[in-house]
Amino acid sequence: MSLLEGEEDWMYNGEKQMSLVFGDTNKIAPIKSGFNFVFKHYDNIDYFNGTIEDLNAAENLDTSKHYWLTKAGRNNAQFDLFRYDFITSTWVGAGH
């Protein structure tokens, strides 16, 4: 989770998640810490060393897990989170 520069919007996975709406950005630290704690300790999230193209090409991955991508690619930013869509049999952004 990160603060969008020059704005009061907090971004996750490339999308706005919350807005301070003229709030004090110093007061958001506990919320940011909470989100980061969940994502760090949630046992259903693993790191994947690669891009979304690498993730889609990989075999034998646990499709019940979510994966943080460690590398930026043409279709993903570094640390985007992806989940497996069982309907389309592809990896999609976890927020979709």
End-to-end, the C-alpha distance of the chain in Å comes to 16
Tell me, what's the pLDDT at 55? Answer: 96
pLDDT score of 49 more than 60: yes
Quote the pTM value.
Answer: 0.61
Tell me, what's the pLDDT at 95? Answer: 76
What one-character-per-residue DSSP string does 14-56 give? TEEEEE-SS--GGGGHHHHHHHHHHHHH-TTEEEESS-HHHHH
